[in-house]
C-alpha cells in the first residue's frame, strides 16, 4: 500500500501507511482512520472521503478555503477517472489531499 499527501505549492510526500486502510472489498465502505486527520492537519470531523474504489481512497478537507491543489487533482483523476476543471471553483480540489492506493 502507498499513501501520498498532496499539499498546495509543495511536492507530493510519501507518508507512512501504518493504520491506513483501503475500502472494504465486500461492501466498498471506507472508514477514516485516526491517522488521516493527523496527516492532513485538521480535526476529524472535517475529513471527507472524496473518492474511493477498488484499490484506492482519496481524502480531502470538507469545504476547504486553501489554495487549489493541481497535483492532487491530477493524481486523483488518474486513479478514479474523475475529471477536475481548474477553471471551475466547484470542480477543483483545495488544500490537503491524502491518496491511499494499493500499489
Share of the chain above pLDDT 90, in %: 89
For 4-37, what is each residue's pLDDT tens digit? 999 999 999 999 999 999 999 999 999 999 999 9
| pLDDT value at residue 4 | 98
Share of the chain above pLDDT 70, in %: 100
| pLDDT value at residue 90 | 84
Q: What is the pTM of this model?
A: 0.94
> Per-domain residue ranges for the chain?
2-101
Q: Please tell me the distance from the alpha carbon of residue 58 to that of residue 91, in angstroms, as a whole number.
A: 15
Amino acid at each position: 500500500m502507498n499513501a501520498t499527501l498532496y499539499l498546495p505549492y509543495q511536492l507530493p510526500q510519501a507518508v507512512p501507511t501504518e493504520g491506513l486502510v483501503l475500502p472494504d472489498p465486500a461492501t466498498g465502505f471506507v472508514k477514516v482512520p485516526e491517522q488521516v486527520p493527523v496527516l492532513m492537519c485538521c480535526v476529524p470531523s472535517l475529513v471527507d472521503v472524496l473518492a474511493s474504489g477498488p484499490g484506492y481512497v482519496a481524502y480531502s478537507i470538507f469545504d476547504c478555503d486553501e489554495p487549489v491543489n493541481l497535483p492532487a487533482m491530477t493524481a486523483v483523476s488518474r486513479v478514479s477517472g474523475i475529471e477536475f476543471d481548474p477553471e471551475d471553483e466547484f470542480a477543483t480540489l483545495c488544500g490537503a489531499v491524502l491518496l491511499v492506493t494499493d500499489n
